[in-house]
Amino acid sequence: MSLRGIPIVVRIVAVFITVAGVTIPALAQSGADTVEVPDLAGVWDGGPGARSVNGPNMPWVPGENFPVLNERGLAYQAAFDEAIAPKYDCVPSSSPAIQYDPYMMEITQWPERLLLRYEKDDQIRTVWLDGRETPVNDFTVQGFSAGRYEDGALIVETTKFAFDIAGFDDYNGIPSSQQKKVTERYWREGEELRMTLTVEDPMFLREPVAYTTRWLPGPDGYTLQAYNCDPFEAGHPRKFLVPKYR
């Protein structure tokens, strides 16, 4: 990172932070002057003590923010059979569901990237802060995330998702497509971590949908536990499901 043109005081601070290895960067964005970088690092509790447990009406509430599906989305939802849900084969959750799953999350901040590590499904997302280009043909479960700091918050935009028959969540039978775009805004309110998440997917949704949630600080010294999903064990619930098609 070049520091030419940056005031001498800021250059000194940036060098000190680089040498000291402090987690919170002073200059996190390529080409930016000083920016207000929120301290998001640490382990965060997203369990029932922080918010209502997820399900058909949470965080999507009918009459408030429940997704409005187009004809294609309604057809997929009507045809969906719970017995074929990818979660029973240990396929991980993706946005917008994984952020609301009732597990711990750990955030690590560096100048050029930020890591979101989820206890659920042993997932790690990298949010790139260095302005790199979005890959052209690299579609994955978690997509490609680019971020920036703005007005004391972290803004994350994620695209390049793979098609997922249960990609919207794992309980409403709503799919998501390669056109899905998820925008997250993270900020601090005292000891709490807050986030507003917005989903766009013109393949299945008539309009964008959003929810706001929070995490509380995790217990002192807590380390994320391994999820260790075993496909054989994960598939056991299928024994008790009534197939839609026989």
23 and 50: one domain? no
Domain limits for position 9? 1-27
pLDDT for residue 31 is more than 90: no
Residues 97 and 21 in one domain: no
Q: Same domain, yes or no, for 54 and 18?
A: no
Give how many domains the chain has, as a whole number: 2
Q: What is the mean pLDDT of the chain?
A: 89
pLDDT of 37 over the 80 cut: yes
Q: Are residues 23 and 107 in the same domain?
A: no
Q: Looking at residues 35-55, what average pLDDT do you find? A: 95
Same domain, 146 and 200: yes
Q: Cα(57)–Cα(60) distance, rounded to whole angstroms?
A: 5
Q: 77 and 21 in one domain?
A: no
Around Cβ 132, how many Cβ atoms within 10 Å? 12
pLDDT tens-digit profile of 197-218? 999 999 999 999 999 999 999 9
Mark out the alpha helices in 124-199 (DSSP H runs).
Answer: none
Q: Are residues 21 and 128 in the same domain?
A: no
Which residues, listed in sequence order, are joined to residue 54 by a DSSP beta bridge? none
| Cα dihedral 192, 157, 41, 2 sign | negative
Give me the pLDDT at residue 33, please: 58
Q: Residue type at 16? A: F
Task: Decide if 35 is inside a domain.
Answer: no
Total-model pTM: 0.85
Quick one: pLDDT at residue 29? 54
The C-alpha atoms of residue 147 and residue 192 are separated, in whole angstroms, by 20
